[in-house]
Amino acid sequence: MDILYELRRDLDQQNVSLHDFSAEKGNYMQDLDFSGLHVLVIGDVMLDRYMIGDVTRISPEAPVPVLNLSKIEDRPGGAANVTMNLQALGMDVTLLSVTGDDSTSTKLEELLGHSIGIHFIKAPGRKTSLKTRFMAGTQHLMRVDDENSTYIDAGLEDVVIDKIQTILNHNDVHAIVFQDYNKGILTANLISKIITIANENKIPTFVDPKEKNFLAYKNCTVFKPNKKEIETCSGIYSPNLETYDTWLRSHLSHQLTCLTLGSKGLYLHNGTAGKHFDTKMQEIVDVCGAGDTVLALLVGCFLKNFDMNDLGKILNIAGGQVCKKSGVAIIDFKELNSEYSLS
């Protein structure tokens, strides 16, 4: 019997109306149309820089490869990559972050373009995260991080809250996404305040956490950790995936758990029942950024009331497609729609 996607708890608070699709409805497939949705993304942005070339010899100066540089590529990373994936799926997106007043921040704004509502609070003395990867073809040789990840102070927290209130006053926002990379933007205090504001305005919240402040997202709507993160924070190591959901719910009181399992797919639990969705065998080129893509699609599908079976299927497809590409990648909506329609 199919597991029903019945997220009934706190519906009045979250203002989310969910459909039930039973087995008797046959092979009903939900439409991937996310137009009309407006999502606010809050979190750590970064610039992913790729120094790409080929290696034909070892340096005579040290036992290291010599990279013959052929091209340099810059791509939006972190919360900016989630933003680009949301836009690629047809949603309107507003991005809010704290950056440095530097060329990296300016470059990110250029890459994101004018169709995204960009609100970068530029803090003097702060660096915008820059991650430079040296690549021989698709082979990752080394990464250099240029950033600082100290938490923002109370004054900047107030600026962020004021900016959120302004955005909500001028836009019909359907979801708020927390993209936390532990780079100092999302403090525990700020997280709590934003979730309170979201719940007061009946806006669902979606969380992609990291180990710091893992349990600060109490009363969020959707929580999407990976298995390593939850093992580190809970101290639980179990083949029974429902054990992790039970532990999370005892701390967060959220609605939907989406536990990503790498090559083993993902696990969804809606508070009533859980289900594991395994991936199909395929070539993996690079897992970098796959979680961002899964989060973006999770937002759209949740807001469009996808049942659990369709949700698990489409999230696995999206993650798999991005893993076939090198580096931080953006979902190809036509490719995604094509594979989904044939599944």
Catalytic residue IDs: 292
Task: For residue 239, count other CB atoms closer than 10 A to its CB.
Answer: 5
3 state SS of 29: coil
Query: Under a CB-based contact definition with an 8 Å cutoff, are residues 278 and 264 in contact?
Result: yes
Task: For residue 240, count other CB atoms closer than 10 A to its CB.
Answer: 10
**Residue 225 structure tokens:** 């950790």
Ramachandran angles phi, psi of 78, nearest 5°: 65, -135
Ramachandran angles phi, psi of 59, nearest 5°: -60, 140
**Distance (Å, whole) CA 284 – CA 326:** 9
Query: Under a CB-based contact definition with an 8 Å cutoff, are residues 277 and 313 in contact?
Result: yes
Instruction: Using alpha carbons, select from 119, 150, 41 the residue that is nearest to residue 87.
Output: 41
- Rounded to 5°, the CA angle 206-178-244 comes to 55
Bridge-based pairing of strands 266-269 and 274-277 is: antiparallel
Query: Under a CB-based contact definition with an 8 Å cutoff, are residues 313 and 340 in contact?
Result: yes
Instruction: Using alpha carbons, select from 9, 7, 43 the residue that is nearest to residue 296.
Output: 43
Query: Under a CB-based contact definition with an 8 Å cutoff, are residues 157 and 187 in contact?
Result: yes
**Residue 58 structure tokens:** 């070892």
**Distance (Å, whole) CA 57 – CA 154:** 51
